[in-house]
């Protein structure tokens, strides 16, 4: 079993839709949770960073962490064609190595 | 967010030669740097983790003699692909992590390596 599971998609939605992206994980030692956006042939860009369970909002993006269920989500409101990209969840343990473990990424396409 | 610069962005080399890729954290000191490899339409595969002044820790299946990592300072790490072969052609991405103000990792723009 992979430590982090993420549906690869692709996920296709119309412009303006609310997008929900999700990851599940198996290791309860993960304490830091991140969402990255990656455009084709570019390095990943950090979108959201959360430490504890609950919600964190930044503009049109909301990150949600449920440690009891080992489930994290990223919501995108009023989705735009420019949001079309691959979204990767990542998580880390707070130990000496601080190793990021990535999900496989979900390809999102927002249709005009 | 913090800035991580990776150079070169694209390189083509002949089989058997070596290629060096640089990763610099421009506005923060990176306690740890990571090197990833990414195949088309796939996620990032961690190759190795390096802490400044220490030997890199390689993931299982990654040849440490082929992928040489040097982390000489808190702002610079290098990955050298030695005796490159066409199967080494890939997208290589570095990441630099900091502990303050938050524990976060930022990525370089990646290096597209093509071995011919």
Distance from CA of B28 to the nearest CA of A (A): 16
Instruction: Name the band, by pLDDT with cuts 50, 70 and 90, for residue A18.
Output: very high
Q: d(Cα B74, Cα B2) in Å, to the nearest integer? A: 14
Reading phi first (left if > 0) and then psi (alpha if -120 to 50, else beta), residue A74 is in: beta
**Average pLDDT over every residue of A24-33:** 89
Instruction: Name the band, by pLDDT with cuts 50, 70 and 90, for residue A111.
Output: very high
- Per-residue confidence (pLDDT) for residue A66, from 0 to 100: 94
Better-scored residue on pLDDT, B86 or A29: B86
Q: d(Cα A112, Cα A14) in Å, to the nearest integer? A: 6
A44 in B contact zone (CB under 8 Å)? yes
Which residues are CB-contacts of A11 (< 8 A; sequence separation ≥ 6)? A19, A21, A106, A107, A108, A109
B44 in A contact zone (CB under 8 Å)? yes
Is there a contact between A100 and B43 if contact means CB atoms under 8 Å apart? no
Closest CA to A98 of B3, B62, B80, B52: B52
Closest CA to A47 of A13, A103, A87: A87
Backbone φ and ψ of A3, nearest 5°: -70, -35
Q: What pLDDT digit, counting tens, does each position of B2-42 carry? A: 789 999 999 999 999 999 999 999 988 888 899 999 888 77
pLDDT cut 90: percent of chain B above it: 59
Q: d(Cα B23, Cα B110) in Å, to the nearest integer? A: 9
Instruction: Name the band, by pLDDT with cuts 50, 70 and 90, for residue A97.
Output: low
Residues of A in Cβ contact (< 8 Å) with B105? 34, 46, 90, 92, 98, 100
Instruction: Name the band, by pLDDT with cuts 50, 70 and 90, for residue A98.
Output: low
Q: What pLDDT digit, counting tens, does each position of A43-55 carry? A: 889 898 888 788 9
A-B CB pairs within 8 A amount to: 63
Instruction: Name the band, by pLDDT with cuts 50, 70 and 90, for residue A58.
Output: very high
Q: DSSP 3-state assignment of B105?
A: strand
């Amino acid at each position: 079993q992979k430590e982090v599971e993420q549906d690869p998609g692709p996920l296709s939605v119309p412009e303006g839709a609310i997008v929900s992206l999700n990851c599940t994980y198996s290791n309860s030692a993960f304490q830091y949770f991140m969402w990255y956006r990656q455009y084709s042939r570019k390095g990943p860009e950090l979108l959201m960073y959360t430490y504890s369970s609950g919600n964190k909002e930044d503009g049109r993006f909301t990150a949600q962490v449920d440690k009891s269920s080992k489930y994290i989500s990223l919501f995108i409101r009023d989705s735009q064609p420019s949001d079309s990209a691959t979204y990767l969840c990542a998580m880390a343990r707070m130990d000496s190595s601080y190793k990021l473990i990535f999900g496989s990424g979900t390809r999102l396409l927002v249709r005009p | 967010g913090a800035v991580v610069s990776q150079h070169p962005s694209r390189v083509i080399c002949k089989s058997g030669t070596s290629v060096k890729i640089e990763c610099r954290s421009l506005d923060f000191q990176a306690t740890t740097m990571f090197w990833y490899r990414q195949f088309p339409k796939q996620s990032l595969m961690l190759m190795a983790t390096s802490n400044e002044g220490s030997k890199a820790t390689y993931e299982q299946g990654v040849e440490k003699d082929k992928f040489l990592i040097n982390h000489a300072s808190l702002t610079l790490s290098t990955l050298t692909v030695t005796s490159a072969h066409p199967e080494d052609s890939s997208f290589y991405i570095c990441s630099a992590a900091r502990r303050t103000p938050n524990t976060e990792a930022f990525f370089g723009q990646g290096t597209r390596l093509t071995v011919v």
